[in-house]
């Protein structure tokens, strides 16, 4: 089992982006090409940009605006909205802040295998509460089993929040790899401390123990190990 902590790197080229993959110290980790969170304002927008041979997961953390997949009309998005773009062919997309709004979102770009026959397009969903959580902890499924959105390559994603001090064990699986990204607060993954904007890379683990203080919010995203290229 391996858990490795990564620091985020900030770029302000267009909108402000904090990336944990890739960075100067961390290359893409297949199938994860990019893992980052972005903040956009009416003055600092994130323009339409292309993806090909990839799945792109987006989750709105704060604010409201629209999500555009060219050439279709933009659709409104608000906190909790989740989208999965399947770019088996080249597709352009962007998230735009609403009038006078700041919008913040988390995004994962994962490689589609060359032999993938997944249809190109986008699916939308909302966070689904997960029952049976320990006292003081809430979890919402964003992608995968129990949600309206299915990934062609088997991505799964959940949001875990700690309104009070608590500990929870989250399943990963030895046949999967995972990234645990901190949206807010402080806590730990298997006793390794994490702060806002940092992430833990999890490899060869049946599961992980998450401990958090009040306000700790993390997104856990996993993918099958050893996908074909």
Q: Is the pLDDT of residue 128 over 80?
A: yes
CA distance 191 to 210: 8
What pLDDT is attached to residue 38? Answer: 95
**Superfamily assignment of 128-224 in CATH?**
Jelly Rolls (2.60.120.10)
* Confidence grade of residue 136 (pLDDT, cut at 50, 70, 90): confident
* Confidence grade of residue 12 (pLDDT, cut at 50, 70, 90): low
pTM, two decimal places: 0.94
Rg (CA), the chain: 17
CATH number of 10-126: 2.60.120.10
Mean pLDDT of 87-106: 95
Q: Is the pLDDT of residue 37 over 80?
A: yes
Who contacts 51 (Cβ-Cβ below 8 Å, separation ≥6)? Answer: 85, 87, 90, 91, 92, 93, 109
Mean pLDDT over all residues of the chain? 93
> Are 223 and 155 a contacting pair, CB within 8 Å?
yes
**Phi–psi pair at 53, nearest 5 degrees:** 55, 45
Of residues 226 and 206, the one with the higher pLDDT is 206
What pLDDT is attached to residue 132? Answer: 78
What pLDDT is attached to residue 226? Answer: 80
In the chain, what are the domain boundaries?
10-126, 128-224
> Are 223 and 31 a contacting pair, CB within 8 Å?
yes
Q: Which neighbouring-strand residues pair with 91?
A: 51
Mean pLDDT of 163-182: 95
Mean pLDDT of 39-55: 91
Task: Let me know if the fold of 10-126 is the same as that of 128-224.
Answer: yes
Mean pLDDT of 29-46: 93
pLDDT (tens digit, 9 = 90+) per residue, 153-171?
999 999 999 999 999 999 9
Q: Is the pLDDT of residue 14 over 70?
A: no
What pLDDT is attached to residue 15? Answer: 67
């Amino acid at each position: 089992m391996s858990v490795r902590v990564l620091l985020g790197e900030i770029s302000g080229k267009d909108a402000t982006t904090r990336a944990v993959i890739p960075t100067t110290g961390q290359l893409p980790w297949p199938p994860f090409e990019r893992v980052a969170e972005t903040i956009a304002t009416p003055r600092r927008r994130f323009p339409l940009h292309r993806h090909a041979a990839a799945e792109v997961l987006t989750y709105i953390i704060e604010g409201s605006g629209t999500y555009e997949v060219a050439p279709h009309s933009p659709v409104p998005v608000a906190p909790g909205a989740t989208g999965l773009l399947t770019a088996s062919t080249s597709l352009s997309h962007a998230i735009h802040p609403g009038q006078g709004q700041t919008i913040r979102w988390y995004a994962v770009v994962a490689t589609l295998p060359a032999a993938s026959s997944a249809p190109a397009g986008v699916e939308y969903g909302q966070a689904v509460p997960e029952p049976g959580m320990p006292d003081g902890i809430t979890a919402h499924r964003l992608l995968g089993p129990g949600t309206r959105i299915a990934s062609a390559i088997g991505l799964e994603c959940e949001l875990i929040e700690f309104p009070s001090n608590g500990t929870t064990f989250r399943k990963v699986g030895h046949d999967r790899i995972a990234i645990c990204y901190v949206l807010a607060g402080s806590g730990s993954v298997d006793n390794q401390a994490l702060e806002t904007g940092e992430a833990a890379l999890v490899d060869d683990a049946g599961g992980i123990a998450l401990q958090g203080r009040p306000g700790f919010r993390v997104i856990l995203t996993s993918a099958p190990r050893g996908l074909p290229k």
